[in-house]
């Protein structure tokens, strides 16, 4: 059971920091002046074509926004417990990344020699994981302003983040560059060879699809989008490049961990608590896995996410040497899940056999994400429901917004056949919730929001329809009811 509810109806709460917006817009214009600019800083065609393939809409489920705190990832003093990322709250966020760039203020910088950012890992999908991450990351690495620390994300992840944050289904290479430099100070000062790596990644990583620019579209180069088949994986488990040695929970943090009681509201990092259920699940987990508090949540999450990082799902397109990487073929379409191949489902199944991952995730997610109408976290009873921003959603098998049907209470109950991808979508949501879009939001005023959902989300109707082969209801009425 997972509840992400809040009083506000979505997509409210996705208000960007105006200063950030203005700055990003201005910078984007400088960057891509040859292309007709829209308010989001990307080319007009980007803005026009939103109906492609991203899981962008997942970002709209931001519970952080629901909590009333504007999130600004990779910077600031507060770290989002979900993802382990730091975030600024309100005015703590620099109006411009450059404005807060120590390197641009005379701070010495030695790019290319990243420090131990790897030990301050990013998003975790559960309260438990976030808790651990939070605990063992006392010295918060501000990737947005720290020019010395290379972000612990793979280039593929960075690209994916940029794509997600852009609110568009496809973005230009320059937009990717810009987002990365905006959000990671390191790359603003690092040797530009990283851009080569970005391009290399785009070309070789099958997660990314090139969308040629139309002939009548001005500008250079094409657009890139995320293959929806891999998007969630990319974001769910790729927040770190490599596995790390076991980490220790900060003893000081452990002392702050209190049994029982609701989790503190986001933004109260000083007082953490774990519900008894979570503790029990943790204990079960430890018993089942033999890990203790040295358990690396990052690696674990990668496993939970389908172990795709281990090379089973999101590999490179490159032609591998004949005797190497024979497994690097395009992953087949998933059978029951669009996101899991058979083998992966087996893996997850075997995992389930040993340990109830769902229970752990669900429990922790409940404890972490449950926001009641007063925007306070509250422990949740475990059931099979999901509430996002005031909308009650049954635990889906293959989550698709269009498959949701509203019940009499305005809740969205998904059919049982929709279950499989929720775990990944949860992960995706959690992994992307913290993302900040430097791109100016398009018209976010009032009524347009919901109608813009499917447009801005980048959800392709055709793909959604493909996802719901078995979906035979009145599509238009469902869409209308959903909107």
Partner DNA sequence: TAGTGTTTACGGGAGG
Partner DNA sequence: CCTCCCGTAAACACTA
Report the interface residues with DNA, using CB under 7 A: 34, 112, 150, 153-156, 172-174, 177, 191, 193-197, 199-204, 210, 218-224, 238, 241-245, 299, 309-312, 314-319, 323-328
Shortest Å, Cβ 42 to DNA = 12
Helix 155-165 with 193-204: angle, nearest 10 deg: 80
Whole-number minimum distance, CB 45 to DNA, in Å? Answer: 12
Whichever of 10 and 186 has its CB closer to DNA, that residue is 186
How far, in Å, CA of 328 to CA of 307, rounded? 15
DSSP-derived secondary structure letter, 148: S
Residue number with CB closer to DNA (240 or 391): 240
Shorter beta-carbon distance to DNA: residue 100 or 198: 198
Distance, in Å, from the CA atom of 3 to the CA atom of 362, rounded to the nearest integer, reads: 9
CA distance 181 to 168: 18
Distances (CA, A) of 431 to 21, 45, 473: 22, 27, 32
Quote the least distance from Cβ 212 to DNA, whole Å.
8
Closest separation between CB of residue 299 and DNA, Å? 6
State the nearest-atom distance from the C-beta of 72 to DNA, in Å. Answer: 23
85 vs 391 by CB, closer to DNA: 85
* DSSP H helical ranges for 290-402: 297-304, 342-354, 357-369
Nearer to DNA, 4 or 160 (CB): 160
Report in angstroms the alpha-carbon separations of 288 from 5, 119, 326: 31, 25, 33
- How far lies 242's CA from each of 117, 426, 428, in Å? 12, 22, 19
Question: What's the CA gap between 263 and 370, in Å, rounded?
Answer: 9
Please state, as a whole number, how many other Cβ atoms lie within 10 Å of the Cβ of residue 464: 19
* Whole-number Å distance between alpha carbons of 2 and 262: 15
CB of 98 to DNA, least distance (A): 18
Q: What angle separates helix 297-304 from helix 127-135, to the nearest 10 degrees?
A: 160
Instruction: Name which of 244 and 479 has its Cβ closer to DNA.
Output: 244
The residue among 220 and 333 lying less far from DNA, judged by its C-beta, is 220
Q: Which is nearer to DNA, 34 or 77 (CB)?
A: 34
Q: Which is nearer to DNA, 153 or 453 (CB)?
A: 153
On whether the CB atoms of residues 173 and 202 are closer than 8 A, the answer is yes
The set of residues, in sequence order, having a beta carbon less than 8 Å from that of 13 and lying 6+ positions away, is 6, 62, 65, 66, 68, 389
Query: What minimum distance in Å lies between the beta carbon of 74 and DNA?
Result: 16
With vertex at residue 56, the alpha carbon angle to CA 54 and CA 61, rounded to the nearest 5 degrees, is: 150
Q: In angstroms, what is the minimal distance from the CB of 213 to DNA?
A: 7
Name the residue nearer to DNA (CB basis): 176 or 369. Answer: 176
Phi/psi for 386 (5° steps) reads -135, 130
Minimum separation from the CB atom of position 136 to DNA (A):
16
Q: Shortest gap between Cβ of 174 and DNA (angstroms)?
A: 4
Q: How far is CA 365 from CA 125, 309, 338, 397, 461, in A?
A: 7, 22, 22, 18, 29
**What are the distances in angstroms from CA 171 to CA 148, 223, 225?**
27, 5, 7
């Amino acid at each position: 059971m997972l509840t992400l509810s809040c009083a506000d109806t979505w997509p409210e709460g996705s208000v960007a920091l105006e200063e950030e917006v203005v700055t990003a817009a201005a910078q984007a214009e400088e960057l891509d002046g040859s292309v007709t600019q829209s308010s989001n800083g990307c080319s007009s065609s980007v803005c026009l074509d939103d109906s492609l393939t991203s899981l962008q809409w997942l970002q709209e489920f931001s519970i952080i926004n629901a909590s009333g705190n504007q999130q600004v990832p990779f910077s600031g003093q507060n770290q989002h417990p979900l993802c382990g990322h730091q975030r600024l709250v309100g005015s703590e966020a620099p109006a411009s990344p450059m404005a807060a760039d120590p390197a641009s203020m005379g701070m010495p910088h030695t790019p290319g020699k990243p420090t131990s950012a790897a030990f301050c890992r990013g998003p975790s999908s559960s309260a438990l994981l976030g808790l651990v991450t939070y605990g063992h990351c006392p010295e918060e690495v501000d990737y947005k302003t720290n020019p010395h620390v290379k972000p612990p994300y793979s280039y593929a992840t960075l690209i994916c983040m940029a794509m997600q944050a852009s609110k568009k289904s496809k973005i230009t290479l320059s937009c990717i560059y810009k987002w990365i430099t905006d959000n990671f100070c390191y790359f603003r000062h690092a040797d530009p060879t990283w851009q080569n790596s970005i391009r290399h990644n785009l070309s070789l990583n099958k997660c990314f699809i090139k969308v040629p620019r139309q002939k009548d579209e001005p500008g250079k180069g094409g657009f890139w989008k995320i293959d929806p088949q891999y998007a969630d994986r990319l974001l769910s488990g790729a927040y770190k490049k490599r596995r790390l040695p076991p980490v220790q929970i900060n003893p000081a943090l452990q002392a702050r961990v209190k049994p029982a009681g609701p989790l503190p509201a986001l933004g109260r990092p000083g007082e953490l608590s774990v519900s008894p259920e979570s503790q029990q699940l943790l204990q079960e987990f430890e018993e089942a896995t033999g890990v203790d508090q040295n358990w690396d949540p990052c690696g674990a999450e990668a496993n939970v996410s389908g172990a795709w990082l281990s090379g089973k799902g999101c590999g490179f397109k490159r032609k591998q040497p004949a005797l190497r990487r024979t497994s690097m073929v395009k992953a087949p379409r998933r059978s029951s899940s669009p996101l899991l191949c058979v083998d992966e489902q087996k893996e997850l199944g075997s995992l389930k056999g040993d340990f109830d991952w769902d229970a752990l995730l669900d429990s922790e997610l409940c404890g972490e994400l449950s926001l009641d109408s007063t925007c306070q976290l509250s422990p949740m009873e475990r059931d099979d429901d999901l509430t996002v921003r005031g909308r009650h959603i049954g635990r889906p098998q293959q989550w698709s917004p269009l498959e949701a049907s509203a019940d009499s209470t305005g809740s969205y109950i998904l059919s049982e056949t929709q279950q499989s991808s929720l775990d990944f979508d949860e992960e995706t949501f959690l992994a992307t919730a913290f993302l900040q879009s430097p791109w100016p939001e398009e018209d976010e005023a009032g009524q347009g929001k919901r109608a813009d959902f499917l447009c801005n989300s980048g959800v392709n109707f055709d793909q959604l329809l493909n996802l719901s082969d078995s979906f035979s209801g009145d599509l238009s009425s469902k869409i209308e009811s959903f909107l």
